[in-house]
Amino acid sequence: MDILLSDPNGRVYKYDILLSLHLNRLLFVGFFFLRKLRNRKREEEKRREEKMRAGLDRDYIVGDEIGRGKFGIVYLCKSITTGESYAVKSIDKTSIVDQIDLDAMEKESKLMQLVSGHSSIVGFHAVYEDAISIHLVLELCAKSDDLYSRITGNDGPMSEYHAAQVMRPLMDAIAHCHSRGVAHRDIKPDNILFSSSDNDDDRRLKVEDFGSAGFFGEGRGMEGLVGTPYYVAPEVVAGRVYGEKVDVWSAGVILYIMLAGIPPFGGESAVQVFEQVLRGSLRFPPSLFRNISSNAKDLLRRMIHRDVSRRFSADQVLRHPWMTSSGNAVTLPANGAMPAEQS
């Protein structure tokens, strides 16, 4: 049914009332359909989140806080089924505002699942999620017993033998990650822990914190200024596309610190440290390296090499004579003291 309408200028229009009613009805139905669809999706997401959170509470008893990081809190938890103790890392999703941090958070559980199972990498056991947090259930390690604490707690530099007991499992863990196409990108003493087992008097070295890790391989490199100033490789500082050998550089810096007691590249600010890293001038002051073997210094030169093409891979480091001749033990005493020197 049509009616005639006119505008203020006297122009006449034909208006189809039935068509208008039909269109309005379609819009009305469509609006409520979309709202119902949206509500259903929210309900499904809520049920999924409640199920995952219920899964955490069903499977574990969450206890006291044992650590705190940039985005999350680490709690002690115990498996209801086995009674084994674990750490649960709860990451606060609401605190993530930067896209890079958001990507890192989403990748961490995937990366940990990919590299988990190695004896020198913190074990990954489960992941749960609720409305505000992602919960990663991990192997329990004593955060107070990390490599940084052991280095700073020593009266002086470590012996080569003792340093080798750290380097062998560390490089084995790095090589394992690289074989899976994963680069850690933040290898430093703070991220090297020692496991805490109820049934083990020894503390085994464990690499943790894959929040900065990245994928590489098949012609794909990595980008972004990721890492910690003293340990970051020059190609990262320079803003270039880089590969997995950034981890080898960082591990080389750790070896240098263990043997010398100081980092190879220092400064009073991050900018000054970066400038020294970019120069990449590796020195062995006689006062610090007088009693260090030529094999150890040779390995350091090959790990802390500014030219990536000449820098050793993790597998090459493991085959270096210093690594193969400095002892085979991979565990350290529970009290943090170093084992007796081998003769």
Per the annotation, binding residues for ATP are: 89
Which residue of the set 172, 186, 209, 247 is catalytic? 186
For the chain, the three-class secondary structure string (H helix, E strand, C coil) is CEEEEECCCCCEEEEEHHHHHHHHHHHHHHHHHHHHHHHHHHHHHHHHHHHHHHHHHHHEEEEEEEEECCCEEEEEEEECCCCCEEEEEEEEHHHCCCHHHHHHHHHHHHHHHHHCCCCCECCEEEEEECCCEEEEEEECEEEEEEHHHHHHHCCCCCCHHHHHHHHHHHHHHHHHHHHCCEECCCCCHHHEEEECCCCCCEEEEEECCCCCCEECECCECECCCCCCHHHCCHHHHCCCCECCCHHHHHHHHHHHHHHHCCCCCCCCCHHHHHHHHHHCCCCCCHHHHCCCCHHHHHHHHHHCCCCHHHCCCHHHHHHCHHHHHCCCCCEEECCCCCCCCCC
Determine whether 186 is an active site residue.
Answer: yes
Binding-site residue positions: 89
The set of catalytic residues is: 186
